[in-house]
Amino acid sequence: MNLIFLRSLIYNVVFYVWLVLLILIALPTFLLPRGAILAMARFWSRSSIWLLRVICGTKVEYRGVEKIPAGPMIVASKHQSMWETFALVQFFDQPLYILKRELLWIPFFGWYLRKAGMIGIDRASGGKSLLDMVRRAREAVKAGGQLIIFPEGTRTAVDAPPQYKNGVGLIYAGCQAPCIPVALNSGLFWPRRNFMRYPGTLVVEFLDPLPAGLPRDEFNARVAASIEQASRRLIEAARAEQAQLFGTVPSSAKV
């Protein structure tokens, strides 16, 4: 475990130094079309994942990529880690995120989020914020975007009971676009609120798309059931792999 600690420390230093360097390299994209900053975001995503494998021994396997429909859609992903917030962007040509408005105020990084057209919302505004979020999401998807959302609203511990928010159903109903659910086991390898990075096989699985036009209650039930069932399967398989690697599942990756 001491070696894992050292590798995790090295990776975190390299990850943030690399991010700062890319932020500086990307400055000319402020003068270029939106596609330029999205290309930089995909490069950041792929390079960070490559560094994770090289430094920490964390392999990544993508399943069901062929199921991703073309054109505008909603991407509803399980959210266990910071990892998926940058990893999923590489699969879409017009990715969009809904995020806290405060992130847009971060010097340079927040400015890039604005340049990329991300949707910032004021969570303190309550119902008004929710209606504004639905409106802006509908406009973005109608314009051809792929809206990446995390239906639980925040990162959840691996074994925490799922708490899916009603907002995902409102967005789905408003956008009138297909939705592809995404299951993963990232929390076992990049735990939330923890700097440790564990070796093994991190799996992302794109599931069968849900068509546009389902009743909202039916959509809410189906998207939650499909994500949770597949994520539990991936977590169980990853824990079996970790038990072989370590003789047990690392304690900080259990929650």
Q: Over the stretch 172-183, which tens digit does the pLDDT of each residue have?
A: 999 999 999 999
pTM of the model: 0.91
Tokens, residue 39: 């290309």
Does pLDDT of 25 surpass 70? yes
Q: Which two tokens stand for residue 51?
A: 């560094």
Count of domains observed in the chain? 1
The CATH number for 226's domain is 3.40.1130
Q: If you average pLDDT over every residue of the chain, what do you get?
A: 92
pLDDT band at 255 (very low <50, low <70, confident <90, very high): very low
Tens of pLDDT along 38-79? 999 999 999 999 999 999 999 999 999 999 999 999 999 999
Q: Which residues pair with 200 in a beta bridge?
A: 58
Give pLDDT, residue 38. Answer: 95
Q: Residue 193 is part of which domain span? A: 2-253
Distance CA(68)–CA(201), nearest Å, equals: 22
pLDDT in tens, 226-236: 999 999 999 99
Give the span between the Cα atoms of 16 and 22, in whole angstroms: 10
Residue 200's φ and ψ, nearest 5 degrees, are: 135, -160
